[in-house]
Amino acid sequence: MALSLGELATRHGCELVGDPSVRVSGVATLSNAGEGQLSFFVNAAYRNDLRKTRAAAVILQPADMDDCPVPALLAADPYLAYARIAAELYPPSGGSAGVHPTAAVADAAIIGDDVAVSANAVVDADARLGNGVFVGPGAVIGPRCHVGDGTRILANVTLVEDVVIGDRCIIHPGAVIGSDGFGNALSENGWVKVPQVGRLRNGNDVELGANATIDRGAIDDTVIEDGVRIDNLVHIAHNVRVGAHTAIAAQTGIAGSTDIGQRCMFGGQAGIVGHISICDDVIVSGKTVVSKDVTEPGFITGVFPGEPDRLWKRKVAHFRRLGDLVKRVSALEKAGGKGGK
């Protein structure tokens, strides 16, 4: 697909500097872009690349125009404008509407208009697919699962059962949605499985990454609200609620019955213990463990960056002596207090 800069400026609210008839059909980095390719500039570290770029056009802020040797689309937030334009240049691919001969669709399933069900996919009894849904190769839509209009279920995704997926969602390959939570009661003879009878409810415009796993509720539902972004290899346990427009980076783990507010952000490998609440607009740094309620917006960080082994071992030795040091300081404070009377 090739679009003119004039079209893009009008549709995306940008100010155009340059020839409106110039057409772009793809995107590339500043250093690699050439004829017909669009790039963007947001990081001052790449200013030299901007000055030398051969892109057909660059999306940037007005203050950076003097360093741009090619036509430009001026935007207050260049990266956001780039995201929207790139989505237009690269529309999602998918099979044409219809059911592949190797797919298995139950007679009791309800299939909307313009639905594509790919090779070896399974749509089970009482499942419902809305209009324009795409089901990728090998995907499984389990019993009583509902998938909203325009949602894309990619290859080898499993919606286990009783999963509700909203409109315009994307679920990437290998994700397992609605499996049993980790519910077990210990008896004198070993573990007894606790039946997981809740559902998984997923809102509109949600994106779930490859191999992400989200458990169904134990009794009440697990809930992922509108606009949430979940990266690859994230695990969300039963009865968690994730507030609207929260973003969770790869390898984060969230334990059961945690309540997360809106517009939160979690860095990679963050760990959240169960049965706590995190308010709106909290940012948790990568590898940070959150072990108690967070009641005020802001940054939460608890990470020891890597450093030379010798220095780390010295600090660990100091940490191990902290208890003795506290006792000595406490004793000195008591002794000083008595001496002053």
Spell out the residues 6+ positions from residue 242 whose beta carbon is closer than 8 angstroms to its own.
Answer: 223, 224, 225, 228, 230, 236, 248, 254, 260
Instruction: Give the three-class secondary structure for 240.
Output: coil
Quick one: three-class SS letters along 50-116?
HHHCCCCEEEECHHHHHHCCCCEEECCCHHHHHHHHHHHHCCCCCCCCEECCCCEECCCCEECCCCE
Which residue matches tokens 């979690």?
266
209 token code pair: 């990454």
Per the CB < 8 A criterion, the answer to whether 28 and 8 are in contact is no
Q: Which helix (H) or strand (E) holds 319?
A: helix 309-320
List 238, 245, 275, 318, catalytic entry = 238
Look-up: residue for tokens 């072990």? 291
85-94 burial, b if ≥16 CB within 10 A, otherwise e?
Answer: beeebeeeee
User: Annotated catalytic, 238?
Assistant: yes
The pair of three-digit structure tokens given for residue 131, joined into one six-digit string? 């209009």
Q: Which residues contact 185 (CB under 8 A, 6 or more apart)?
A: 191, 192, 194
Catalytic residue numbers? 238
